[in-house]
Amino acid sequence: MYAQLVKTDEKRLKSLGEMDPQERAFQGRIDRGEKIEPKEWMPEGYRKTLIRQISQHAHSEIVGQLPEGNWITRAPTLERKAILLAKVQDEAGHGLYLYCAAETLGISRDEMFEQLHSGRAKYSSIFNYPTLSWADIGAIGWLVDGAAIMNQVPLQRCSFGPYSRAMIRICKEESFHQRQGFDIMMKLCKGTEAQQKMAQDALERWWWPSLMMFGPADGDSVHSAQSMAWKIKQDTNDELRQKFVDQTVPQADFLDLKVPDPDLKWNQERGSYDFGEPDWDEFFQVISGNGPCNEERLGARVKAWDDGAWVREGLMAHARKHARRTTLAAAE
């Protein structure tokens, strides 16, 4: 997950006949379900799109540490504190695998950080919402990680080998994250009146932003069509959103929580829930920097990077000294 609105640079989808032989052979490999590895030939558009998508995804993992990290020092029990620490540590680990996967495409981690810090690269809109109570930690695990899994399970079959393999590893951990989130919600819903209220309030604030995580309807998007042809994307945004709603509504019922959507109802004919339209104006505002926490989140990452410059320089300087001493010792 966490990659919304990935552009492909393509103006329209080419037919096989319009491709040059190399591109046609490449598309043939994709169509046969072969994995593309970093050293193999690939169209420039494929490489760029993957860099955008994987780095957006990595940035989301890194920025995602902040809203959850906000509650580590205030977790209500030692066990919850330990679980949350383990989870946030996993997120940073996911960021690390993903940056490594993107690096195989010829971009460095420092360049990707630069794109994030300058605001050129995006990260998931969801992390620009504030975590206001402990229940938000439950809601994030349950809804946000739930939506992430929905997005990431198909990405395990992505055509690009390193991304697909990173996803297999990440999905295992994400399902643990979702369970811990649901478990937090369950405890709250069986708890005191104040805890139940906290849980309902969290669902109300996180429901719509979670649905927006899948991105707007693909419509006639060239980018989506191209990404699907390249098997970088497997399902449309709307298909994934529907799947998420169908999975999550019965869970909310089980928790005895009310989903804040007056249009939500079971559609017997479709065997799915009908639901209302997210506020896409809000989505585009958040994506373009005007969400409630955009400035804090990005500001915190930039500050961490700038404040840490002396540490990174110190470590590099030591490595150079050490190498020089080793060379001198070998020469003697």
Partner 1 sequence: MADKALFEFLTRIGDTTLVLGHRVSEWCGHAPALEEDIALANTALDLIGHTRMWLSRAGEVEGKGRTEDDLAFLREAHEFRNYLLVERPNEDFAVTITRQFLFDAWHRLMLISLQESSDQRVSEIAEKASKEVAYHVERSTDLVVRLGDGTEESHRRMQHAVDILWPYTGELFTDDETDRELSDRGIIPLPSSLEGEWKTHVDGVLSAATLVRPEREYAHKGGKAGVHTEHLGFLLAEMQVTHRAHPGATW
- Please select the residue that binds partner 1; options are 38, 45, 69, 161, rule is CB under 8 A: 69
Based on the shown chain and the rule CB under 8 A, indicate whether residue 197 belongs to the binding site for partner 1. Answer: no
Q: Which is nearer to partner 1, 233 or 301 (CB)?
A: 301
Pairing of strands 265-267, 272-274: antiparallel
Q: Kindly state the smallest distance separating residue 182's Cβ from partner 1, in Å.
A: 14
- 315 belongs to the binding site for partner 1 (CB under 8 A): yes
Exactly one of 28, 106, 119, 191 binds partner 1 (CB under 8 A); that residue is 191
Structural tokens at position 126: 């969801």
> Interface residues for partner 1 in 75-114 (CB under 8 A)?
75-82, 85-86, 88-89, 92-93, 95-96, 99, 109
Residue 80 neighbours by CB under 8 Å, 6+ apart? 184
Site for partner 1 in 274-303 (CB under 8 A): 300-301, 303
Task: Give the amino acid at 81.
Answer: K
Q: Can you tell me which residue has the tokens 């679980």?
A: 83
Instruction: Write down the least CB distance from residue 122 to partner 1, Å.
Output: 18
- Amino acid at position 291, single letter: G
Contact 1, 123 (CB under 8 A): no
| Site membership for partner 1, residue 192 (CB under 8 A) | yes
Which residues share a beta bridge with 274? 265
Q: What number of residues does the chain have?
A: 332
Q: Which residues of 257-272 are buried (b: 16+ CB within 10 A; e: fewer)?
A: bebebeebeeeeeeee
Measured from the CB atom, the residue of 226 and 294 that comes closer to partner 1 is: 294
Which tokens is 317 given? 């300087």
Where along the sequence are the contacts to partner 1 (CB under 8 A)?
A: 62, 65-66, 69, 72-82, 85-86, 88-89, 92-93, 95-96, 99, 109, 134, 184, 187-188, 191-192, 194-195, 300-301, 303-305, 307-319, 321
